[in-house]
Amino acid sequence: MTPPPGSLCCRTVELAVRVLPAEHRQRYGLEFIAELYGMPKAQQRRHSARVLTSAWALRAALSEAAPGVNGKRAVRTIHKPLTCRLNLHHRWRWLSTEDGDRFERCQKCGKDRSEKVGGSPEAGQGMGGISSF
């Protein structure tokens, strides 16, 4: 006969569920505690620790799938990484347009920059020869 869930495991699950959106807490809390039944004590501890470490990922998934106004899916805003907000892009990828022009796009935030960087007249030189980037 397998033991019932330990109080420490139940409290760990309850702690993990606190980060979830309010409308999902009770459902997931009961579900995670129900999963502990029938497991040996060591497995209960591992499982509750796994639930605790993945709670933020579950929160993100539940928030992303949350319905918006009139039952339509809400648009999730994507935050730019700090390095991109400071204009310190590190992951540029070369791409081509349909007409063959090449440009680079930051893989983190999607900002584009042209291949035409330098001293040519087409490079979009600003005042004093300083590039407008």
The per-residue pLDDT for 111 is: 86
- pTM beyond 0.75: the answer is no
User: Which residue in the block uniquely carries the two structure tokens 């591992």?
Assistant: 46
CA distance 54 to 56: 6
Domain ranges of the chain: 7-68, 79-113
1-60 residue pLDDT tens: 667 888 999 999 999 999 998 899 999 999 999 999 988 999 999 999 999 999 999 998
Is residue 79 over pLDDT 90? no
Q: Is 38 left (phi over 0), alpha (psi -120 to 50) or beta?
A: left
The confidence band for 101, taking pLDDT boundaries of 50, 70 and 90, is confident
* Average pLDDT of the residues of the chain: 78
